[in-house]
Amino acid sequence: MKFNYKKNIAAPLMIGLSMAIGLSSCQKDFGDINKPWDSKAYSATIPAMYNNLAVGMLEAGTSRTIFSSFLYQNTQLAANYAASGYRLNDQVGGAWTNYYTALANYREVETMIAKDLKADKMTNVKAMLKTLMAYKTLKATTLFGDMPYSQAGKGFSGPEFYRPAYDQQSDIMLAALNDLKWAVDNFNTNTDQYSLGSSETIFKNDIPTWIKFANSLRLRYAMVMRNKNASLADPIIVETLTKPLLAPGDNLGIYPSQVTGLTLNRAPSFRGNSYVRMGSTMWNAMSSTNATDGSGIYDLRCKILFEPNKAGQWVPYPQSPTEATTAEIVGDAPYLDARKTNFVSTGNYLYSPLSIFYVADDKIPELFITAAEVSLLKAEIYNRGIAGVVANPVTAKAFYEEGIAESVKFWYKTANSTSIGSVTKPNAAPTALELSTMLMHPAVAYNVANPAAALAQIYKQSWIALFHQPYDAWVLKRRTGNGTPNVALSPSSPVINLNKLVYPNSEMETNYENWKVVTGGADDMASKPWFMN
């Protein structure tokens, strides 16, 4: 099964009416549980419905061009050397459709479970479904803000649900966090539990991993809303710290190597109108000098995620270019598939690109949440002394260094296993000396004596660790009030006030009255979602 991340056209919200069509989904491991394509009738089953929701966890079809054309610029994880031909409002439909397809199917499988004679043995299945849907809901609302939720995905129940009202983001987040709590509290290892068997393609029926996943998501999103509503977030944060969280080595997501026939082709998102290069903000976060020979590089991830230019020099593209900036040679030379087998590019380019390994390896997992992120969230908690946790710079430093090490180890392991043989591979893991040298570098060493400076370091390292998760890096940037590394962008930048994704055009066309209530009749990406206020 091959997923290409490409531009999609927005689909109407009323996708709930056709929720059962999703059962045809996908081939290989994700789809073998369904009936043959040429059957005259299709019957929904709980394993099939669960599996269809699992397929939707992939971002396939959610317009990854948002990443390279807009989010890379806004988060400054990378830079665009030319204006993209993509329009933001043409890119959002995939994410919207992906979410509401999943929500409609989730509503239906809930009903199916309630009617099943084995419902009392399906606690784990319900907890898995609640966890997946809560994850998608929290992600969707941090993208769009207020959304149809409590009345959405119910089109099959009657015409009164065809045009669902929008819920406030605060209510949506609380409902999803409550679902995650229910899942954490109800997952169990009783042998009489109904098993999805091979249909459970996410964590292979590993209940302890499911618990850590759900609890770690609670921690992430409680921190997202903490600055807005501490009285609501703090009890959640305290509780998550007493229950299982991701530990070193836990990097949860969908791994193509574990699903027969699955590939995740990200390459199209870096060609054509994407115009992506390593930006000066990231370069300054990884190198202590502008030496083009790379002698100032201190971050062990730099040479894995980025490359020198065609001349073999490390030259970032300015995050905020001026008229004096030398223009890049327009072309896709560094990202062509031919470089997977012939590393030397036939084209020319003046600025350092993302590495061909990162762009072209279709086995890099799609990550949900990682040990690095969780460790750095703990570092933030102990740095700030929030949620009843006493500020402790020593403990904060330990989690800070653990988070950095986990991120570095992930990229070493991932690069070492690449099928692109022309890439110089690092060891399977960094040596103790390499890690300690990086952690002791003046730009990285935790500032125990200055909590404010140390907090900036935590946000910087969290931002770098989220390089492969630009949506989550965007949430981090917004929830911290631009606390992640950034420089002032040009006033003409198309992402200078990108605070939310605009709603797809289909919403204005098919759900106008409710759309108008929430937008005032003019949707604006500069409008701040609730968690930012």
User: CA-to-CA distance for 453 and 447, rounded, in angstroms?
Assistant: 7
Give the residues of the chain that fall short of pLDDT 70: 1-43, 59-65, 421-424
CA torsion angle 29 127 407 481 (round to 10): 130
pLDDT of residue 161: 81
User: CA-to-CA distance for 303 and 305, rounded, in angstroms?
Assistant: 6
User: CA-to-CA distance for 262 and 27, rounded, in angstroms?
Assistant: 9
What the chain holds in terms of domains, given with CATH numbers, is 1-201+496-533 (1.25.40.890)
Structure tokens at 83: 């204006």
Enumerate residues 6+ apart whose C-beta is below 8 A from 434: 300
pTM as predicted:
0.91
Structure tokens at 492: 């003409």
Beta bridge partners of 354: 306
pLDDT of residue 377: 98
Which of 242, 180, 246 has its CA nearest to residue 209?
246
User: CA-to-CA distance for 151 and 160, rounded, in angstroms?
Assistant: 9
pLDDT of residue 120: 94
Element (H, E) at 286: helix 280-286
Beta bridge partners of 310: none
Structure tokens at 451: 């909590």
The amino acid sitting at 128 is M
Question: Three-class SS of residue 315?
Answer: coil
Write the pLDDT tens digit of every residue in 416-461: 988 886 666 788 899 999 999 999 999 999 999 999 999 999 999 9
pLDDT of residue 273: 85
Element (H, E) at 377: helix 371-384
Q: Return the CA Rg of the chain.
A: 23
What does the longest C-alpha to C-alpha distance in the chain come to?
A: 72
pLDDT of residue 312: 95
The amino acid sitting at 434 is E
Q: For 306, list phi and psi in degrees, rounded to 5.
A: -135, 170
Structure tokens at 304: 């894995």
Tell me the pLDDT of the chain averaged across its residues. 89
CA torsion angle 282 498 63 180 (round to 10): 90
The answer to whether 195 touches 175, Cβ cutoff 8 Å, is: no
DSSP code for 318: P
Q: For 385, list phi and psi in degrees, rounded to 5.
A: 65, 60
Q: How far is CA 131 from CA 127, 173, 214, 395, in A?
A: 6, 13, 6, 30
pLDDT of residue 159: 78
pLDDT of residue 271: 87
User: CA-to-CA distance for 136 and 121, rounded, in angstroms?
Assistant: 25
